[in-house]
Structure 1
Amino acid sequence: MKRVILSVAIIATIGLVSCKNEAKKETTKTEQTTSNQVASIETTFGVRGNCGMCKNTIEKAANGVEGVSMAEWDKLRKQINVSYDESKTNVDAIHNAIAASGYDTDKVMGSESAYENLPGCCQYDHGMEMSLKGDVKEDENSNH
């Protein structure tokens, strides 16, 4: 009889522990945070230049403007694609930064003193076309 009572007590205890554990299940909390993402403006405009060194200088000048997140100059088309935060800068500031580095844009003439300090391969023809459309062939003489 003691065995039966002991067995019943053990089973009852296990049952209570099981019930307690089920009641203590922790609930997971998911927090959703919204970030203040600022919409980026994308623009494309013409920039004169000749070679890979020009590409580096032009992109560095554009990327140096606070708020610019991406700048990529296309040597063949003579144009730059820029993404920027309009709450921090504007397209005119980007044109001015590129012009200050010595390169003409389709809005602002490059700084003459900066142009004169460019390497010889980077001293472009001030009359060259910009923002070329359609198929563009690479000039054999501009592989710098």
Structure 2
Amino acid sequence: MLMTAISGKTQPGDGVKTPRGASVAAAGMMTLSGALSILMGVSGIAQDSLLVTPSDYAYWFDLTSWGVIHLVVGVVLIVTGLGVLADKSWGRGAGAAVAAISLITQFMFVPHYPAWSIPMMTLDLLILFALTRFYVGTSG
């Protein structure tokens, strides 16, 4: 009778998918962007004096509304960032969609705090680039 030991460890090429390169970078940037958006959301909800409220702006919302928007987008960015990191099938597409939504909301938020919004828009563009570039999964 021939017995073989089965190792619990996986080896490269065993069909186990792990994110690499740009996916890991995108996941890290998404969790960072999400955490920063949550912090901005809390500032908006608390009516922080750091934020300016222009009166004649086309995309005008009160600061509490902006706070809730940033809070929700931040939480979704973190969840999708973890999905990308876990190499979930929905992660990359959902991550790109949420990064695009974050980019749009940051653009609309520019008059309130441009020193915050412009770097965050840059981060969102980097996330979009990392998630939408050609992806070659691991072959099994």
What TM-score, normalized by structure 1, do the two folds share?
0.30
What TM-score, normalized by structure 2, do the two folds share?
0.30
The answer to which structure has the higher strand fraction is 1
Structure number with greater CO (CA < 8 Å, separation at least 6) is 2
Considering only CA atoms, is the larger Rg found in Structure 1 or Structure 2? 1
